[in-house]
Amino acid sequence: MTTIVTDNCKGCRYTDCVTVCPVACFHYDDEMLYIDPDVCIDCSACIPECPVQAIYEEDDLPEDKQEWLEINAEKAPELPVIEEKMEPLPGADERKAALGF
């Protein structure tokens, strides 16, 4: 089991999630965040924090988002850790509205 960031984060990157992560398992690039499954303790604290519902428990990951399991595991360890909230990406609010949130 792990917790997974999916494509809804892409272009938003709100980062509210990282403030409640007890183990600093979030990593980031220019587009979005990723969770390191070897560090995540499956507490799920981040899931309700995401304004665009981009984060899933593995058990709840929809069929069409399964690829993100591997993407998180591959990308996270190579990228810098994020422990504090950053400004969302430009256009995040518009994207959020477009996603229906």
Partner 1 sequence: MSQLGTEAAPLRVAVVGAGPSGFYATEALLKSEIAAQVDLIERLPSPYGLVRSGVAPDHPKLKQSIEVYKKVAALEGFRFFGNVTVGKDVMPQELRDIYHAVIYTCGAETDRRLGIEGEDLAGSHTATEFVGWYNGHPDYRNREFDFSHETAVIIGQGNVAADVARILSKSVDELKHTDISQHALDALAESQIKTIAVVGRRGPAQAKFTTKELREFLELENCQAAIASEELALNEASQTEVADKKAGVVAAKNMAIFEKMAEDAEQSKVRTCRMMFCRSPIRIEGNGRIERVVLERNELSGEPFSQRASGTGETETLECGLLFRSIGYRGVPIEGVPFHDSWGVFPNQEGRITDGPDGAVVPGIYTAGWIKRGPSGIIGTNRACAVQTVESLMGDLSNLPADRAGTDALAKLLQERGVRSIDFPEWQRIDAEEVSRGEPKGKPREKFTRREEMLQILG
Q: Which of residues 31 and 60 has its CB atom nearest to partner 1 in the complex? A: 60
Q: Which of residues 31 and 42 has its CB atom nearest to partner 1 in the complex? A: 42
- The residue count for binding partner 1 (CB under 8 A) is 21
Continuous segment of H or E residues that includes residue 26: strand 26-28
- Position 53 contacts partner 1 (CB under 8 A): yes
Which 8-state DSSP code applies to residue 57? E
Among 7, 44, 61, 69, binds partner 1 (CB under 8 A): 44
Among 32, 33, 35, 46, binds partner 1 (CB under 8 A): 46
How many residues in the chain?
Answer: 101
Which 8-state DSSP code applies to residue 88? P
**What is the closest distance, in whole angstroms, from the C-beta atom of residue 87 to partner 1 in the complex?**
17
Pairing type for strands 33-35 and 26-28 reads antiparallel
Q: How far is CA 20 from the centre of its chain?
A: 12
**What is the closest distance, in whole angstroms, from the C-beta atom of residue 43 to partner 1 in the complex?**
6
